[in-house]
Amino acid sequence: MFMGHYGPAVWDTQRGKGHVLVPLWVGFLAVQFMDIIFAFFAMAGLEGGVRMVNDAPLFTIPYSHSLVTSLGWALLGGLLFKLFRPTAGAKGFWVVSGLVFSHWVLDLLVHRPDLPLWPGSSVELGLGFWNWPVLAFALEMGLLAAAFIYWLKVTTGPKASVIGLWALFIFMGALQFLVILAPGLQVKNGTFDPNVGSTGVALGVSMLVIYALLAGSIAWIEKYRAPKL
C-alpha cells in the first residue's frame, strides 16, 4: 500500500480531547515508518530488488516487512515517540506502535505474496489486491479521503486549511497514480519491465523525500487547525 497507509494516521487526533496526543504529522511518519526503514535498507543494498514470479513483481523486503520484524519496528516507533514526547505516556506509546504496525496489516491486503513471516522464512504473505489496480486505487484513495473527512470533522480552522488539505489529497492521488496504479496496469497488460525504475540509493532517497514532503505538508496545514473540544 502507498497513500492508503495514511488513513489510520488520523486515529488519535481527537483522542486527547482538546489537545493533540499524537500530532497528525507524527502519525504520517509512523504509518510509513516501515517504508522509511526500507528506504535505508535499500540504500544499504540489503533490500529492494524486484523479482518476477509468475509474471508478477515481488519485492525483496525480509527485514523491513516481515511479520516478526514489523512487530519490532512497531515497538521501536512507540519507544522513539515516548523518548521525544514523554508526556504522551503509555497511551502515546501504544497509539504510535499501532500506527506503525497498521502498515503491515494494510500491506497484507494489497501486496502480492512477498511479506515473509520472519527474515528468511519461506512463507510469504499477501492477498494481492494490487492485482486489481483500479479497485486498489479506489481503496487506497478512499481510505485517505475518509481519514481527511474525519480529521476535518474533529478539527477546526480557516477555509484555507481545508483547501490546502484537499490540494494535498490531489497531489497524493497523483503520486498514487504514478507509483502504484500505472505500473499495476502494466503488470496486468504484461508490459511491466522490472528493470525500469530506480533502485538502491536513488530509490531510498526518493522515498525519504516523498515521506518527508508529505509529513512536512501536513504539519504546515495542521498548524492552522485546532482540535474541537
What is the contact surface with Zn ion in residues (CB under 5 A)?
35, 107
Q: At its nearest, how many Å lie between Zn ion and the CB of residue 82?
A: 23
Q: Which is nearer to Zn ion, 35 or 114 (CB)?
A: 35
By the 8 A CB rule, do 48 and 62 touch? no
Q: Which amino acid, 161?
A: S
- Interior CA angle at 143 toward 137 and 149, to 5°? 130
By the 8 A CB rule, do 190 and 24 touch? no
Q: Which is nearer to Zn ion, 147 or 221 (CB)?
A: 147
Q: At its nearest, how many Å lie between Zn ion and the CB of residue 29?
A: 14
Give the span between the Cα atoms of 85 and 62, in whole angstroms: 30
Residue 56's DSSP bridge partners are 53
Q: At its nearest, how many Å lie between Zn ion and the CB of residue 222?
A: 24
Q: Which is nearer to Zn ion, 67 or 152 (CB)?
A: 67
With residue 162 as reference, give the H or E element that holds it.
helix 159-176
Q: At its nearest, how many Å lie between Zn ion and the CB of residue 41?
A: 12
- Indicate the burial class of 106 (C-beta count within 10 angstroms; 0-12, 13-18, 19 or more): buried
Q: Which is nearer to Zn ion, 48 or 92 (CB)?
A: 48
Q: Which is nearer to Zn ion, 35 or 140 (CB)?
A: 35
Q: Which is nearer to Zn ion, 105 or 138 (CB)?
A: 105
C-alpha cell of 81? 515517540
By the 8 A CB rule, do 13 and 20 touch? yes
- Mark out the alpha helices in 3-124 (DSSP H runs): 24-31, 33-43, 67-84, 89-110
